[in-house]
Structure 1
């Protein structure tokens, strides 16, 4: 009899009364007495029980038919099954006799049997179609039994681990030393299960005291380090000395003892003395091993997560903060003000030196290496000083101060060989005045050479069969599909022909709910006075089935045109088609896509309209129009402009990008720009790379910031500008406010055709803006390459992320549980966006957190925190008041009041509290 057969046999006893009264001790005795001769032990190949529950949990998530209590119960079961199974094999790996593990086996069997019973209960619920009272009682009973076993399970685990610790002292070598390839995977599984159990502890005790929170943060960072070392950095682990491997083996046992003891203590205010001492000892050991591994394998510059964009601007922002710190009252006699002042003086010298070599470093390897080292030290110093302000890492200040001194000494040695006078490198030629229409943001896009295309599409929409028909515009990215569709959508013949018009942007990430809301809002807007704001709140609160019924009702017996822009797959159409009635009255669907075969999936006999590339003459005409408006190009520049137009590959988007560059460089440089364009220029990336390289350094982070937002998203301008200011991107200028300067930065990006204003304020100025799909793709790739921004999707990405701690992080989540699990992964994080996948153009569908939710991770060094997609209800997230460096905070909820402790955030510049309130 294998273990799976034992579980099945025991689960059949569910109907017997003794089963419901049985606790773990009774089960243990039954296993010994009744099944002694055939008692099966876990096999390292046997995952049957775990996968029963895992499959069950996945099915629950897919169907979403059970309540949250049931969902949490299955997640809890998975966690406990994984931990008990991993501990069993980890103990066996250390040489513990399996018969000594009978208590642990009893716990695992108890959980497995109850998991199997829960699965049977659920299937009976599905079969009957409703939850009857007796079944609800069974579920409740199972919950109570599993809760009651928690304490016993963790006590047993601690006992087993302490026995392991004693056994490890007897062994001459750790199993990780004499059989690393085989045993490393067992240790991996155990460490991962400990991380899962630790996250559960943190979720139960979100409001630790500050001192305990620091210890928990360090513990999680250390255990996560062990996981990464075992999982990913295998070559580093294998290369460690046998003594270090032995020490790591002992630390894994110590970590298990501490984490299981924390589960037993059930306190968030203080720990038992024995656990407290064990934790302090473990943290010291973890710190030692992390430092040893770091010294043996020092990180290279390329592996650092510090941003490599506008680096001098980052130092300027740091120096501004140091000035504020010098004049502030820290309230502590021990605060090292004098030492920080000396660091500030050395940084000012380095800033001056780096400015001198900014153009020379690309041609000099020594200067580039010194630049990289100086920037690394500057970023580390900023992290340490910001930690010192919070009363942490004071002991590290001497180290970074010494590092800065060392870099300064290297700079002084090289400074003699650098000409301080860079006047020879400056170009003093006079510029020709260029009257460019690009300085004024325009919502209307220029369409050149496509009059016939507009006529063809318009005819296909307004003529032909009365049956509902589908018309598609297909072509590669940057051809102007969206521009053509918008032109057709607003064409007079279309306005006069259709009773109802609506449009929505689909893109790669979408949901049925948000597509329906977009279309309904667009329908309402087409009927309303365009000066009146159309709020999506009414539709956002509706169920998607109700939305589908509402849309069908609105469109029924009306001749309508629906535009679906940027469609990537047939699923979007499948989600909508039942809501778009066919009343044989000439209604039409117009969609745009990069994929030619998609139109055949929409309609097998359809003939997609393939958007052509522009001719050379049309390229020149569009380039001239974008730069000079209605005026002609000066004759002295015509030849070079024709040369540049010929390099645009017939793509309107490339023309717009080149126009943005030409409008910002002196006209005598146009020929040099034309010569730099290769005939083999990649269609997608090279024009954007050129445009990016021509940006002033201070604009580069502003552009890359768009990568944090969703593709095709309309971004509120004020929010964006406030984020730029909080990040330190906006330079102080005498006589101008930071808000005005930030708006100038935006208009500069608009004038370069990198950003489009999509809505204007009635009082003047831009209200919302967005970037083209290709620009968004470029921003994502460049931001990742420059370590500017890390994007993660869902809890799975967070759990498996093994890179260095990012500086700026954007996380897209689907469910509230993912936010609640997201704890303490990135201790040095400075900016955190947590967005919902439901975020879209008009508004967002806010994810509601459960009552009593632990909120989000407290990351003490954060400057920017945007949680605006998640509804905290009436409870203000008190973790926020610990974030002393916070400059920007956005949350969503219906808080009746804001706690006075928010005054602790003396650096807070922008505080947004948003929520949908019933009228």
Structure 2
């Protein structure tokens, strides 16, 4: 897609000028600066065009994308040649000529785009007076009347509409396209009790390109108050007419399919508040729109149908009041399962099958090709799902489409997703924010737009894993292929070469190695592999590769030739018991390095040593290893002058380092570190801990998360440790510290998450102290031999979640814990019956006091005999 390609090119040009200037001669620098100026102007133009109600860029997208890709190829190839040769002394006429041609093409595109936009702008202005109706009351009773799975929702909404405050209130229904928001709203609107309760009802469908005048006219029409003369009135006069017709009445207004918070601002003054229980309800896919209009929490979030609800809806659509034939039920349930609880998909496929031949072979074909069957037979279905994508701003479209590179039904780890987004170079930087923070905000935006589903939240409340609905993933794949953004294959590697800059291999059952070798290696920039090929690809052929993701492709070792990929930004994979790269320093652009160990093959793997050259890799952002020794950094001297310190200013994550020494020399090289994982193996007394300089950790002023594993019991560890005030999350495993030392941790002023695992503390009694853990929100106690815990609500004043796992000796939870006003949940895994009973007593006591928000979850692992 054009914007993604332009943004990627912008990042490459900036990187070339800032980090690869030694490989350019003066004239080449000037030419790249000239290109950057034009590309930045094109980026601004594209961003501004998204805010207008015209589609002027669509016809030029291919040319913009191709020009950006060509410029990337020219520059990256040129720099790579210079890096390999180690020289930038000679004039490259072809390089300058090729860049000139790209510059001329971009100038031509820009002029044509401006001309088209000016012309279409006039047409848009003329069209404003003839917009189609925003919707009328007839929409309130159209569509399917099926309420399968909506009974509880219906009762909940009716309760909110007809009870509570007499003040004018608003209720917002939010959820993804096709999940049943409008269906629920129609059922509520036409409910007999609602019709009786409110004097006046009115319905209007708003949609994306709304017009305030049309909304007002349709509301008056829905109320049966519209007259011919009203069509001549101004918008302000119509707003006044609506107000007067509602004044003194108990009314119920529904605005369906709202996409902009401005809609509420435009019409709210027409709704009088006579304190008579009048209500307003809207449906939207956008959480920020729902939040803006919703009077009081919570939002009404639509859920997917469960298995039984889905089957009953499908059966009713296909067979009406009759039962499904036994020979079709198994395959029918498979079809329903593939709809993943989305009512729209179930209704559409049910309607198709109700009219089609009812044979096992036909239904089997439908089950195997559900998405293509639906989209080819129902254009309205595709339009409904596509609306959310089309409404996205450019910078989010790329992020959403990228979700398609992951496997179907795959729980996507947000930490991996963020690193991939950063490495791909398509995140728009924001001043004072890291690219990782920008990525997190983009993901949250997609969640709030009901396009991405949250699977699991971490202990800090952030999204840990996510996924997208299968049918939205199909939309991603189709659109990405159409936009030539990436190519996903479950079979032969066939398709237009221009779409193969990003290649994802999902299944290898039908992939031939000859097909893989036919990939256009010069074009491929990202290679994500979920199944391995035999024999493996020769990765050195992909000499301009930026992303290589193979960690989920089974136990295959990364080849040593990887270090020849000098443009690589992201590398994840598995390796055996040895460090796989002799020349890691060649990966001068590497941002993310993730190496897992093949433990299933090497059960007694010992840590390996990282080459000292890693300190020369200034672009590193994330280093995640399974056990490694970090060498002391070298210093570089120039002609006897003072040493030059190489600082890894971009490094945010470093784990897991064995026997990590927190010397000033090391810590000043990683000043912006946010996450650190360390493990100590050697035996030692207090004097030995001084060797590791743990007190220096306090100098890492941006460290937010520390994970520390202590092999064997080392009770003096905490006495040597000084935690930075910035620390928010601490995980301790092993060590066997005395409970008296907990005050060292409890005094950390900003600690929000504490996880104690595998005998981190040892001893039968923990007596908590007042004035500690003032910010703690999450506490995990796992595999600890604690018997008696003495604590009250004053000891953890902000605790929200308490999790206790495998603590078979602990007899009870202190009853005062239940009085913590912020406590939301207590979760127990394989604990003593008395501990479970105490948790239940706490919950019951809180319920007696009217606190029904505290949840207790008990999980028991049963032994298999």
- The TM tier, using the shorter chain, reads 0.3 to 0.5
* The structure with more strand, counted as a fraction of residues: 2
Scaled by the length of structure 1, what TM-score is found? 0.37
* The structure with more helix, counted as a fraction of residues: 1
